[in-house]
Amino acid sequence: MFAILKKEINTFFASPIGYLVIAVFLILNGLFLWVFKNEFNILDNGYADLSTFFLLAPWILIFLVPAVTMRSFSDEKKQGTLELLLTKPISHFQIVLGKYFGALVLILIALIPTLLYVYTVYQLGNPIGNLDMGSTLGSYFGLLFLASAYTSIGVFSSTISDNQIVAFLIAIFICFFFYFGFDALSNITDFSIEAFGMESHFKSMSRGVLDTRDLLYFLSVTVFFLIWTTLNIKHSAK
């Protein structure tokens, strides 16, 4: 598993993909939060908090994570190397975990520089340090678990087609549905199903309260798609 993890990370940074993903994430966040005149602009809001960043980040990750994961298995299938990979003396689930953690590490590397936003807003507060660190820390934990769930969905989607663009679009659709879909359906129907969606759990964690129900939800979604991914590649091996 660790050999596959190392190979995935090396592949990302041996090509422009890894650097491009990190740059796009940081540039988009930077422009919306500090440059463009919009509701996300921290300076225009006049409040020392990062709530706008945590509203914006899930949207960007919905496109960014599938861009990272779309080649995970679709590229192996297209090049005909999936069968060779599956003959390695490790279990299919370990192969999936290697691909999964390789993509997740890249996403986490993209998130680390955003800690500079925390320092900046902390210094801009009046008085200095007027920042709700509990809420900020909870939001970062929420982003971590959200990225984890998105990544498992992206890796799963890459097993559906050997076309990376198709895998990319499928992952975007599933991530979008899981984050916004249940809440939208709850608003237009009489059924209270928003708890099945990621948005309500992410917002709950963003309040700075780490509820085990929220953690179990994200872990369940992640494990569910990882298991489904394993079943898909087992089917491909037959």
Exposure b/e, 116-155, CB count within 10 A at least 16 = b: ebbeebbeeeeeeeebeeebbebbbbbbebbbbbbbbbbb
pLDDT at residue 185, rounded to an integer: 80
pLDDT, greater one: 81 or 168: 168
Q: What is the tens place of the pLDDT at every residue in 109-131?
A: 999 999 998 888 888 777 777 77
pLDDT at 144: 94
Encoded tokens for 183:
């809440």
The whole-number pLDDT of residue 237 equals 57
Q: How far apart are CA 23 and CA 6, in angstroms?
A: 21
Spacing of C-alpha 183 from chain mean position: 19
Note the pLDDT tens digit of each residue in 177-196: 999 888 778 777 766 777 78
The answer to whether residues 79 and 162 touch, using CB atoms and an 8 Å cutoff, is no
pTM of the predicted protein model: 0.91
Backbone angles phi, psi at 37, to 5 degrees: -85, 100
With CA atoms as reference, report the closest residue to 96 among 220, 229, 238, 235: 229
Where helices occur in the chain by DSSP H, the ranges are 2-14, 16-30, 42-45, 51-69, 74-79, 82-86, 92-111, 115-124, 133-157, 164-176, 182-188, 198-206, 212-237
pLDDT tens for residues 39-62?
Answer: 778 777 767 678 888 988 999 999
Q: pLDDT-derived band of residue 5, with 50, 70 and 90 as boundaries?
A: confident
| Residue 26 vs residue 17, higher pLDDT | 26
* 8: confidence class by pLDDT, cuts 50, 70, 90: confident
Average pLDDT, stretch 164-168?
93
Residues 9-20 have pLDDT tens digits of 888 878 787 788
Q: How far is CA 15 from CA 18, 27, 59, 204, in A?
A: 7, 19, 25, 37
| 214-238 confidence digits (pLDDT tens) | 999 999 999 999 999 999 887 765 5
Both structure tokens of 161: 């087609």
Q: What is the mean pLDDT of the chain?
A: 86
Percent of all residues in the chain with a pLDDT value above 70, rounded to a whole number: 97
- Contacting residues for 155 by C-beta, under 8 A, at least 6 apart: 69, 72, 73, 96, 99, 100, 103, 225, 226, 229
Judge contact between 144 and 108, C-beta under 8 A.
Answer: yes
Average pLDDT for 143-163: 94
**Domain locations in the chain?**
2-237
